A and B are shown apart, each in its own frame.
Chain A
Amino acid sequence: MQSVARSQSTVGPDTAAPKDATLIYRQSRWTRLTHWLWAISLFFMLLSGLQIFNARPQLYIGKESGFAYNNTIFAIGAENTANGPRGYTEIFGKRFDTTGVLGWSGPAGRETSRAFPSWATIPSYYDLGTARVVHFFFAWILSTTLVVWLVASLVNGHLRRDLVPRIDDLRRLPRDIIDHAKFKFHHTREYNTLQKMAYGGVMFVLLPLMIITGLAMSPSMNAALPFLNDLLGGRQTARTIHFVVMLLLVAFFIIHMVMIFAAGPINELRSIITGWYRTDPPAHGSKTPQRGA
């Protein structure tokens, strides 16, 4: 209960004492700073990345792209039909009509052939060179932020205290899944099991994989680290993995937003901006142990 005591004294006299018992300092400045740097970088990397993809809207498996043979597993394109031009998306040879969003999109009467629509790319018009400038700038920010976060989280204990899974987490998992499915949220100092899995998965699997597959596409890095592509199954496979991880990060982002809205957006936003978080009154959360901040 140390943290609670400290919280009360820091908050100041203008807030009523009994209420403050539930207000805790949950997110360190390092967590908050890196969180927002990631949010900005990932936003720009996604939209510039989709622009880069538009230059070659196909994904292949292997060392190279098959032109005289077929190793394409995913493609977005446009074709002329009896009903005019249509956009399509092809996954493992199965074709879906995605007119209006993927392949063929734009304002009515001024549609163009482009894989991802202009509202999803930076710049909005086709410009591969600029997208690369934006993408690589934020790649530096993203990777540096990941290193800074890792060091800070090791030093300030965020990693050990909040993210490392415990036996207890495994036991709580079924209950946790049911609670999430019912949109029933417990506001505690600690992350619940699904949160640990989601955040840990992003920090230690998705982001590193994104950086590694990104580097594996660089011809100069291929000279420096030739084993990288051997490990990943070739440059074009690395590019495909890069794309799939992007989809997983987008899925994480959507779930992240859904959870924030469901768990109380004001409280959640306050904790990632100021660090202060309102936990459930002890009557509700007595089962959960409180750990010092």
Chain B
Amino acid sequence: MAKFVISRRKFLTSASLGVTGIMLSGCDAFDSQLRVGDGLRSFLEGANGLTWRAQRLLAGDSLAPEFTEADIRQPQRPNGVTAPDDDVYKSLLANNFADWRLDVSGLVEKPLSLTREQLMNMPSRTQITRHDCVEGWSCIAKWTGTPLSLVLDQAVVKPQARYVVFHCLDTIDRSLSGDIKYYGSIDLIDARHPQTILAYGLNGKPLPVENGAPLRVRVERQIGYKMPKYLRRIELVDSFAAIGGGRGGYWEDNGYDWYGGI
């Protein structure tokens, strides 16, 4: 075989051409196969189920890290909808949520309709935790609320229930069939996790509107989009088929993974 003799210039030219070629092939070549519902996309999404099972196995019922007062160095950064423009919400807010109720429905023995006072009279949990947004940022804050498990116990969950769906008051999107209000869901393991609370307090004060007043959920072992704000109703279901686009949440219907522990 002939020995490769290659000049430095020739070599640098071909090397840079090679690298450029590889980079250019990346851009939009895969776009068409990655839309929600496409075969390749659905195949890749299978990894989320694997992650869900693996993390359930590894994390068990362990608690998310909690921090100290000294770690609270700034107000909780709000994200997503920060001032709902919905008439229903605005009238509830005008009345300081006196007419607001949290309904618990679906696969439960005793449907509930709880006032804010009733929730606040239940045993509460306060925790200083780190909020991790799907975008990549984190923010530490102190949350106070009613453990979701207490509410579920009061409603008595039927054995066939598998998920807790949160229905919210804020319009996140508009479609031809009307306004889409935020919705999301978690499994019963996270719903019954001791740190999963229906929060009405933030950093020692009532929960502000931008952070989800009157009530938002905290799911400390998942990413921020799994913790809906402006809660209106909790529904116990055995499948997502009748919820929005059928993938378990607003962001999920827009291509985000349902399990947000990563």
Q: Does B176 contact A (CB under 8 A)?
A: no
B255 to chain A: closest residue by CB: A129
A136 and B257 contacting across the interface, CB-CB below 8 Å:
yes
Q: Which size class do B's interface residues fall under?
A: 35 or more
Q: How far is the CB of B259 from chain A (nearest CB, A)?
A: 9
Q: Which size class do A's interface residues fall under?
A: 35 or more
B255 and A133 contacting across the interface, CB-CB below 8 Å:
yes
- Complex formed: what's the CA distance from A125 to B132 in Å? 24
B255 and A224 contacting across the interface, CB-CB below 8 Å:
no
Which residue of the partner chain, among A69, A123, A239, contacts B34 with CB atoms under 8 Å?
A123
Binary interface profile of A, 131-154, with partner B (CB < 8 Å = 1, else 0)?
Answer: 011101101100000000000000
A219 and B222 contacting across the interface, CB-CB below 8 Å:
yes
- Complex formed: what's the CA distance from A258 to B17 in Å? 11
Binary interface profile of A, 235-247, with partner B (CB < 8 Å = 1, else 0)?
Answer: 1100100000000
Q: How far is the CB of A224 from chain B (nearest CB, A)?
A: 4
Q: How far is the CB of A5 from chain B (nearest CB, A)?
A: 20
Q: Does B55 contact A (CB under 8 A)?
A: yes
Q: Which residues of A contact B65 (CB under 8 A)?
A: 222-223, 226, 229
Q: Which B residues are closer than 8 A to A by beta carbons?
A: 1, 4, 6, 8, 11, 14-15, 18-19, 22-24, 26-28, 30-31, 34, 41, 44-48, 50-51, 55, 58-60, 62-65, 67, 71, 73-75, 77, 130, 132-140, 220-223, 251, 254-257, 261-262
Q: Does A283 contact B (CB under 8 A)?
A: no
7 contacts between A and B (CB under 8 A): A63-B140, A66-B74, A68-B75, A119-B27, A130-B255, A132-B256, A267-B4
B62 to chain A: closest residue by CB: A223
| Number of interchain pairs (Cβ within 8 Å) | 178
**Given A224-B62, A235-B132, CB of A64 within 8 Å of CB of B255:** no
Interface contacts beyond A128-B256, A222-B221: sample of 4 additional A-B pairs, CB < 8 Å, sorted by A: A63-B71, A119-B26, A219-B223, A221-B55
Q: Does A122 contact B (CB under 8 A)?
A: yes
